[in-house]
């Protein structure tokens, strides 16, 4: 939508927020960062690697326990207590905010220690999703946006994890220093604040301000 409306072209690079932040510190040629948390952006801001005043929350994510199997995950997530599975996929908590949220959830449910032998760790939330979608893990903690469209699961079965079980997944964007005078980068950030962009973001299971 942004490319069609603005004439600018985007070159996208995907990865865990932690790895992208590390690449920025090492001089990666990125103009805009869309992080899966706020802490990473705020840390980069403290290091003066982003243009002052540009960070903002573009979406709030939700964590979902999901399986590609249609009836495996119940509506209350009780399968975690029943442990009727061999592998539970989570994103690396030290790299991926959704992975940190998954481990907080297991800890607050009192299940982190019991389920530790069953955990399969993905480097990013995208890799974690692929583990579950391929069936290599029967279920896993993914971003709702990966399995959600227009108000419903695209396939499989899932439990929307209550937001009270983990820290908020407020996802922030920021303009990086090298793009301070890049009109396309600034236009993208402005577009993400528009009502049309927010409608698209919400359609994929995120929440917006």
Pick from 17, 151, 147: nearest CA to 89:
147
**Amino acid 209: pLDDT:** 86
Say yes or no to pLDDT of 155 above 90: yes
Confidence of residue 89 (pLDDT cuts 50, 70, 90): very high
**pLDDT tens digits along 159-203:** 999 999 999 999 999 999 999 999 999 999 999 999 999 999 999
pLDDT per residue as tens digits for the range 93-122: 999 999 999 999 999 999 999 999 999 999
pLDDT at 174: 98
* Ramachandran bin of 93, using left for φ above 0, alpha for ψ from -120 to 50, beta for the remaining angles: alpha
Over residues 41-63, the mean pLDDT reads 98
State both tokens at 192: 């993400």
Please report which confidence band the pLDDT of residue 150 belongs to, taking 50, 70 and 90 as the band edges: confident
Measure CA of the first residue to CA of the last residue in the chain; give whole Å.
20
CB 89 within 8 A of CB 140: yes
Q: Is the pLDDT of residue 46 over 90?
A: yes
Strand 169-175 relative to strand 32-34, pairing:
antiparallel
| Residues 6 or more apart whose Cβ sits within 8 Å of residue 4 | none
């Amino acid at each position: 939508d942004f490319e069609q409306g603005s004439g600018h072209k985007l070159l996208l690079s995907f990865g865990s927020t932690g790895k992208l932040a590390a690449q920025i510190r090492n001089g990666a040629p990125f103009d805009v960062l869309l992080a899966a948390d706020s802490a990473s952006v705020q840390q980069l801001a403290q290091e003066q690697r982003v243009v002052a005043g540009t960070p903002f929350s573009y979406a709030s994510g939700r964590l979902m326990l999901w399986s590609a199997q249609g009836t495996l995950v119940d509506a209350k997530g009780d399968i975690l207590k029943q442990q009727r599975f061999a592998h539970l996929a989570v994103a690396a908590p030290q790299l991926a905010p959704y992975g940190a949220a998954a481990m907080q959830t297991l800890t607050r449910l009192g299940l982190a220690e019991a389920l530790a032998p069953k955990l399969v760790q993905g480097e990013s939330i995208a890799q974690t999703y692929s583990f579950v979608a391929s069936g290599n893990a029967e279920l896993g903690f993914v971003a709702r946006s990966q399995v959600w469209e227009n108000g419903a699961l695209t396939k499989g079965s899932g439990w929307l994890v209550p937001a009270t079980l983990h820290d908020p997944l407020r996802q922030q964007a920021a303009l990086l220093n090298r793009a301070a005078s890049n009109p396309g980068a600034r236009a993208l950030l402005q577009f993400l604040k528009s009502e049309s962009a927010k409608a698209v973001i919400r359609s994929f299971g995120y929440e917006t301000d």
